[in-house]
Amino acid sequence: MKKTIVLETDFMTLGQVLKEINVIGSGGQAKWYLAENSVFVDGELENRRGRKLYAGMMIEIPEEGTFFMVKKGEPIDETE
């Protein structure tokens, strides 16, 4: 199932996304979480909490799901 994250601004950081999807409780936990868990951005392993994520990017977190970044106002495809 696709899960979408709607961008209110041009981008979000990976740390902000982790907090948005309730994987971490605060931004300070992002560095620890990324050191202990695999997170993929567009298919590549990512460990930088400050990584900027833009509309059209895909974030995969094993056991949490796959998330697609969309710009506010764009249609959301809820199929699959």
Write the pLDDT tens digit of every residue in 14-26.
999 999 999 999 9
Report field, pTM of the whole predicted structure over 0.85: yes
Please give the Cα distance from 57 to 27 (Å, whole number).
21
Pick the CATH number of 2-71 from 3.40.50.2300, 2.60.120.10, 3.40.430.10, 3.10.290.10: 3.10.290.10
Q: Label residue 27 by pLDDT band (50, 70, 90).
A: confident
SS (H, E, C) 6-73: EECCCEEEHHHHHHHCCCCCCHHHHHHHHHHCCCEECCEECCCCCCEEECCCEEEECCCEEEEEEECC
Q: In 3-state terms, what secondary structure has residue 3?
A: strand
What average pLDDT does the chain have?
A: 91
Query: Which tens digits make up the pLDDT trace of 37-67?
Result: 999 999 999 999 999 999 999 999 998 999 9
